[in-house]
Amino acid sequence: MEVTINNIRKEFERFPALNDVSLKIASGELIALLGPSGSGKTTLLRLIAGLDFPTSGKIFFGDQDASHHSVQERNVGFVFQHYALFRHMTVAENIGFGLKVRPTASRPPKTEIRRRVSELLDMVQLGGLEKRYPNQLSGGQRQRVALARAMAIEPRILLLDEPFGALDAKVRKELRRWLREFHDRTGHTTVFVTHDQEEALELADRVVVMSQGKIEQVGSADDVYDRPGSPFVFSFIGESSQLPVEVRDGTMLFQGQPIGIAEAGDGAGELFFRPEDVTLVDAPDALFGKVTACRRLAGTRIAEIDIANDGHAPYHVEVEVPLHAPIELGSETRFRPTRWKVFRK
């Protein structure tokens, strides 16, 4: 099911939670809504589900305008952040709930419901746990019961709110891979909300980066990481350092010294670069500063460098250095970004 979101605006008591958001989700796609808390990602997910309604704008399911359809009419599978399993029902009753409450005409017979429930339980690899109650399950198991329950109604799209938020790191990673396989097997259009960029980049076909009620960038993991479209995306995704620069005739100047070329137009700008896109080089036009700290990070080493700022607080940047580079604390180091981006102020 293709989902199209057109110029959605959502206000809570006059405060805009979403501001003119448009997005096209292709059928069968796995999409991540990524952003810090308060960026409007959960609000957008709830609007798609029909758990909230937009102040203005439209939402289409396929060609159908679903903006005024209730949550029941939209037939979406929604997995809640804390699962919202019905605690007084067994696992089987939870999963079968969506079928049981159907109007008599479309309600499958009891034996059929039972068959479907055990089929779904097998699909989420929880066969044999029919009779358990939610409080007798682990977090990861609850999560999968919630998913099975959402899938039972044969939803047109699957929506997940922070699906792994409440789980510990190891279970998180397992479930992440499992969800990817699950998606590839069922082919459902899936949208999930997360504040964890690693999760979004690893799992999703496309990542929607949001900030302050707006979509900052939509793209593949490579797009948002390698070609960030805005200062926010550059600093939110991955590690980065920034320095104020001045662009003049295609040359970028830092503290009056030319340090490279820039495609941005003339004027004040902000230079962004990633720690790994830096070489240590002894050249007169290189940046230089004092190493204040050095820390080991998996297979690399990160040096924290303070660049003097004419009596003000120094600029703080982080660069990746080879494991065996002769870096001493307090020593002066010269380096140059190999890939960078300048955003106009």
Partner 1 sequence: MSEDARSVLGNPPPFRNPADERPLAKILLIGLALVFLAFFLLLPLVSVFVEAFRKGWSEYYEALIEPDAAAAIRLTLLVAAISVPLNLVFGLCASWAIAKFEFKGKSFLITLIDLPFSISPVISGLVYVLLFGSNSLLGPILKSQGITILFAVPGIVLATVFVTFPFVARELIPLMEDQGTGDEEAALSLGASGWQTFWYVTLPNIKWGLLYGVLLCNARAMGEFGAVSVVSGHIRGLTNTMPLHVEILYNEYNFVAAFAVASLLALLALVTLALKTLLELRFGAGAAGGRH
Please give the residue ranges that form the binding site for partner 1 (CB under 8 A): 49, 51, 71-72, 75-78, 80, 82, 84-88, 97-98, 101-102, 149-150, 152-153
Q: How far is the CB of 105 from partner 1 (least distance, A)?
A: 13
Cβ proximity of 243 and 218 under 8 Å: no
Q: How far is the CB of 232 from partner 1 (least distance, A)?
A: 31
Cβ proximity of 164 and 199 under 8 Å: yes
SS (H, E, C) the chain: CCEEEEEEEEEECCEEEEEEEEEEECCCCEEEEECCCCCCHHHHHHHHHCCCCCCEEEEEECCEECCCCCHHHHCEEEECCCCCCCCCCCHHHHHHHHHHCCCHHHCCCHHHHHHHHHHHHHHCCCCCCCCCCHHHCCHHHHHHHHHHHHHHCCCCEEEEECCCCCCCHHHHHHHHHHHHHHHHHHCCEEEEEECCHHHHHHHCCEEEEEECCEEEEEECHHHHHHCCCCHHHHHHCCCCEEEEEEEECCEEEECCEEEEECCCCCEEEEEEECCCCEEECCCCCCEEEEEEEEEEECCEEEEEEEEEECCEEEEEEEEEECCCCCCCCCCEEEEEECCCEEEEC
Q: How far is the CB of 158 from partner 1 (least distance, A)?
A: 11
Q: How far is the CB of 334 from partner 1 (least distance, A)?
A: 56
Q: How far is the CB of 255 from partner 1 (least distance, A)?
A: 53
**How far is it, in rounded angstroms, from Cα 35 to Cα 193?**
8
Nearer to partner 1, 49 or 321 (CB): 49
Nearer to partner 1, 114 or 316 (CB): 114
How do 251-254 and 241-248 pair as beta strands? antiparallel
Nearer to partner 1, 101 or 329 (CB): 101
Q: How far is the CB of 171 from partner 1 (least distance, A)?
A: 21
Nearer to partner 1, 100 or 131 (CB): 100
**How far is it, in rounded angstroms, from Cα 40 to Cα 48?**
12
Nearer to partner 1, 72 or 292 (CB): 72
Nearer to partner 1, 153 or 253 (CB): 153
Q: How far is the CB of 157 from partner 1 (least distance, A)?
A: 12
**How far is it, in rounded angstroms, from Cα 147 to Cα 179?**
10
Nearer to partner 1, 35 or 50 (CB): 50
Cα dist. 86→137, 226, 306 in Å? 13, 43, 54
Nearer to partner 1, 98 or 163 (CB): 98
Nearer to partner 1, 158 or 305 (CB): 158
